[in-house]
Structure 1
């Protein structure tokens, strides 16, 4: 990569050194953030896997019970029983800040606190298998909501990890090496200028000394006393 041209002055050198210190500090902080995000992300992924298996198993059990209920009851009676539910659910969404990632937090609330309101039908003309199926779905619902919260959190954290990784790579492989190259370039230029100045001063001193020697020699040849 071609190096950006900089003005080789001490002021520019000081400015670049400050920027390099800031970049190194930012690089360390971002690496720590990335590592902590990765740790939490992996824990969340493991929890998500366990929760998904639990939810899928619960839904499978509920489906089996619905199949049994459908086998015992006729189709019109089953549809009529589930046509007008008595219970309703509202979901509240809040946010929690985890390492600058706003992850969702889902909480639900039922319209009525009565547990039997999940049954929208009378028990006289329905099968007990239908009761078991509805109860199974009701019991798995909190885990389904938690699973949705967990999967969305995983997605948001994965996006933040990718952003942080790109910033770390940009600092590590682009900005910090560029600052170091510019600092080295300016340092070499300043050292070169200082050596050139010293050489010029030595040459001027030699010229002045040579002129003084020649002037003294000329004065001595003319018999003029020269004060030392």
Structure 2
């Protein structure tokens, strides 16, 4: 760093070094906590995805079996009238100063107690099983989307924090330490030179006497 090698400048740089060291420790602690939270989210994401895929697979297997035993026009009539209208509600929560999404489904009217919008005379039990499985998919999909987005946001924050930690650890702090060391050596040399001149002056004065 290009600075004047003065004691005042050295004290100022020592203050900056102290602040940078404290900031580095805080950022390192933040990075460690972010990684811990991120690891938990990744595990939750894996569990949710596995659960959703299993439920979806069971539902589709039952639906394929039902569709093979039910005429297409009957299936069309069975799903022509939806029982419920749902709105997506998007909120947020703060984790480690990150605004993470919270997704919930809101039923526009009171949720229907009837789970099926069709009669049972022309449909099969496999269709009922398929809808039982698929009716649980939406909350799981919203939770999975919420967790995956949170993972992405936390990964971005970890990367930003890592860059700041590295900038302090490998650039700013070493530069400050090197500059302080340079000023101290310069001041020591200046003091020794001053002391040498003073001693020579004393010798000259004493020799004249």
Establish whether residue 135 from structure 1 lines up as the match of residue 132 from structure 2.
Answer: yes
Larger Rg: 1
Say which is worse superposed, 164-173 or 76-85, in terms of deviation.
76-85
| Count of aligned pairs | 209
Any idea what the Cα deviations from partners look like across 1:7-43, whole Å, max 9, x if unmatched? 1011110110000000000000001000011111111
**Partner of 2:127: helix, strand, or coil?**
helix
For residues 7 and 182 of structure 1, the distance between their equivalents in structure 2, rounded to whole angstroms, comes to 10
State the secondary structure of the residue aligned to 2:102.
strand
How big is the shift at 1:132?
2.0
Deviation at 1:180, TM superposition (A): 0.2
Report the alpha carbon displacement of residue 118 of structure 1 after superposing the two structures with TM. 4.9
Q: How does 1:166-205 map to 2 (within 5 A)?
A: 166-205=163-202
Q: How far apart in 2 are the matches of 1:152 and 1:77?
A: 39
Q: TM-score, normalised by structure 2?
A: 0.94
Quick one: distance in 2 between partners of 1:146 and 1:163?
Answer: 26
Cα-Cα RMSD: 1.5
Stretches (4+) displaced over 6 A:
none
Cα separation, 1, equivalents of 2:114 and 2:156:
41
TM value normalised by structure 1: 0.86
User: Aligned equivalents of 1:67 and 1:111: distance in 2?
Assistant: 30
Q: Return 5+ residue gaps in structure 1 as ranges.
A: 214-228
Structure 1 stretch 202-211 or stretch 169-178: which is displaced more?
202-211
1:94, 1:55 → 2: CA distance?
22
The answer to whether 1:144 aligns with 2:141 is yes
Equivalent of 2:53 in 56, 79, 87: 56
Measured in 1, the distance between the counterparts of 2:68 and 2:37 equals 46
| Corresponding residue number in structure 2 for 1:163 | 160
